Every structure is written in structure tokens, then in C-alpha cells.
Amino acid sequence: MSPSSLERREMIRDAARRTLTRRRIAGRIAEAACFAAVLTAVLPLGALLYYTITRGASALSWAFLSSPPTPPGVPGGGISTAIAGTAEIVSLALLMAIPTALLAALFLFERSGRIATMLRFSADVLTGVPSIIIGIFAYALLVVPLHQFSTVAAAFALAVLMMPIMIRADEEAMRTIALDLWEAGIALGARRSRVARTVVLRGALPDLVAGNLLAVARAVGETAPLLFTVATPLAAMTLLIYTEGTEPFGAAEATAWGTALVLLAFVLTLSVAARAVAWGISRRAR
């Protein structure tokens, strides 16, 4: 082999080493940036959890969870009515929102055209609408004509708040299922409803649950829609937090922090339970 060939090979090797070194340095810098971004996102959440637990843990007790509230200035009392009211409002909102959002997502999954485009655009717009406007809408639509505040009006407001998120999340979850499976089921002569139920919905169930949980997590923590639809702050935990947290009394502030901690635990428990149910159903389906 001539000296010039050896020199060229050495030059190529040196260039390859330099390229590999640069790639390793760039990879480490990217890993460090990703770690810093994750830390930046997690730190506020950790600080919020720590602050809420340290301020609200002292108020927690069985009496606090199971007793009804007492009038201002009277010691004792709990948040049982607020817990029951939140559960009732969210349950009714889910009954309204889940079927509607699921049917709309199935329509968007199957169809294309002007109507599907308008529906998708409307869902995207409604996702960014402030919650207080939705509260005013529910107030004008249900509270004013019926001349009374009600749990149904509050549930309707939360359902309107959740539906756009559910529609887009459900549609994206369904699109994770291979289109070939859908077409194969139709080609075998199965009805579209059966294919949607046994193939699409079953395969997309974990993602459907995750998307619906995202909507529920937003709705559970909303206060503005309930201000226009619920008669008393004692009917929901978020309203109780808002009311007691603005009072200049130590007992009211402790109640607000304790309720905030219960609300955080409620959302966490709901998320874990729904994930476990979805995992169990998808495992049995496989």
C-alpha cells in the first residue's frame, strides 16, 4: 500500500473520530437539556404538593371528612357535603360528556368532509374558551329559565368544558388503531358498529381512558363555572376552597388547605383506579 493511501486512511479515521466525538458531546448536551427540562417541569409540581401537604395535613381527620360544615365561628365541622356534591356533579357531567364525545370521535374517525372539519374546528376552539364563559353560558341556558341554581346546571357546565378535550383525545386514540383492522372487519361482513365496539374501542381503550382523565382532571379543579350554577359554596370542594381561602380567619384557611389536599388525593386516586381498570381490560382483550 502506498504512503499516500495510508495517509488518506488515517485522515478518514481522524475525521470519523472527530465526528463521533462531536456526536457524543452533542448527545450528552441534549441529555442534560432534557433532564433540566424535566426538572424544571417537576419542581413546581413537587413544591405545590409539598406546600399543600404541609399546610393541609393538620386539618385532616375522620371528622373533617365525614362531618357536615358548621356555621362561621363555630368550631369543628367538616367537608362531607362538599365531597358528596363534587362527586355528584362530576358523575353527572361524565354521564353527559362521555357518550357524546365518544360518538363524535367515532364520526370523525369514520368520516371526512365539511361537517367533520367543522366539528373538529369547533372542538379545537372550545378547548381554549375560558371556563368562566362556559359558566355564564350554562347560567343563561339553564339557571335563568328554571329560576334556580342546580346540580344539573353545574354538571352541564363541566360537561361542556370536558367534551372538546374528550372528542380530540378520543379521536387520536382511535387513530392509533391500524386502519387495516377496521377495513378487514368491514370486509368480513361485520357491521360498522360491531367493528367499532370490538376492534377500535377495545384496542384504543387505554388511550381513551387517559384522554378522558385529562378532561376530568381539568373539570374537577374548575371553580368559575360553578360560581354561576351552584347555589351554595358547600356544594363543591372547589367552591369551598375559594370561599374559605378568602376568609380572614385561621380556621377557614385551615379548612381551605385541608380541602385542597383532599381534592388532590381525589384526582390521584381517580387516575390510578382508571389506569388499573384500563390495563385490566386491555390485558383480558389480548
The CA distance from 276 to 22, in Å, is 44
Q: What is the pLDDT along the chain (286 residues), one digit of tens a residue?
A: 455 666 677 777 777 777 888 888 888 898 899 999 988 888 888 888 888 888 888 888 888 888 887 766 666 677 888 888 888 899 999 999 999 998 888 888 777 778 888 888 888 888 888 888 999 999 999 999 988 888 899 999 999 999 988 988 888 888 877 666 777 777 777 677 677 777 777 777 777 887 788 788 888 888 888 888 887 777 788 888 888 877 777 777 888 888 889 988 888 887 777 677 667 666 665 5
* CA dihedral sign, ordered 174, 179, 184, 187: positive
Q: What is the three-class DSSP state of 204? A: coil
Q: Are residues 185 and 250 in the same domain?
A: yes
CATH number of the domain at 172, please: 1.10.3720.10
Total count of domains within the chain: 2
100 and 26 co-located in one domain: no
Task: Check if the beta carbon of residue 219 is closer than 8 Å to that of residue 158.
Answer: yes
The answer to whether 262 and 237 have CB atoms below 8 angstroms apart is yes
Q: In terms of domains, do 103 and 223 share one? A: yes
Q: Do 122 and 81 fall within a single domain?
A: yes
Prediction pTM value = 0.78
Q: Are residues 151 and 41 in the same domain?
A: no
Question: Is 11 in the same domain as 103?
Answer: no
**Cβ atoms 239, 227 nearer than 8 A:** yes
Domain identity same for 51 and 145: no
Alpha-carbon distances of 120 from 111, 113, 127, rounded to whole Å = 11, 11, 11
Please name the residue that has the C-alpha cell 359558566: 135
Structural domain boundaries, residue 9: 3-59
Could you tell me if 96 and 158 lie in one domain?
Answer: yes
DSSP string, 11-37: HHHHHHHHHHHHHHHHHHHHHHHHHHH
Residue 258 host element (H or E)? helix 250-285
Domain boundary among 29, 59, 89: 59
Q: Are residues 26 and 123 in the same domain?
A: no
- 37 and 178 in a single domain? The answer is no
Q: Judge if 160 and 241 occupy the same domain.
A: yes
